[in-house]
């Protein structure tokens, strides 16, 4: 989608530190980290949010959680725990209307988160 920052990253127009990629998703570091380790897992297909019908695709979700696990292991945060978050819609805090999951780790998380 034209103008979407994540689509531009996926197209190679904007640099990002890629951590993982497969046919469905790409993982890269967040530019504004909220934890010692903070990366995003972004769908290759432009899907606005988890509320879109395509976001419920089993293959896509399997790729998301495979990326979460593999990058968490590589970043040495899997054994201590991670927080995985996706926001759907402006009231939930979604800033980029492209399906993505934040993965945070390396510190204790509090609850409730927001």
Classify 32 in phi/psi space as left (phi over 0), alpha (psi -120 to 50) or beta: beta
Could you say which of 38, 98, 100, 102 is catalytic?
Answer: 100
Active-site residue flag, 46: no
Instruction: For residue 17, count CB atoms less than 10 angstroms from its CB and return exposed for 0-12, middle for 13-18, buried for 19 or more.
Output: exposed
**Which residues are catalytically annotated?**
100
């Amino acid at each position: 989608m034209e103008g979407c920052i994540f689509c531009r990253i996926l197209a190679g127009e904007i640099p990002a530190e890629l951590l993982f990629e497969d046919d469905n998703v790409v993982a890269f570091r967040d530019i504004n980290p909220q934890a010692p380790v903070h990366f995003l897992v972004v769908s290759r297909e432009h899907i606005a949010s988890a509320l879109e019908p395509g976001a419920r695709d089993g293959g896509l979700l399997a790729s998301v959680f495979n990326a979460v696990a593999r990058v968490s292991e590589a970043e040495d945060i899997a054994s201590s725990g991670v927080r995985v978050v996706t926001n759907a819609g402006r009231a939930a805090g979604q800033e980029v209307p492209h399906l993505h999951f934040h993965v945070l780790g390396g510190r204790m998380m509090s609850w409730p988160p927001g």
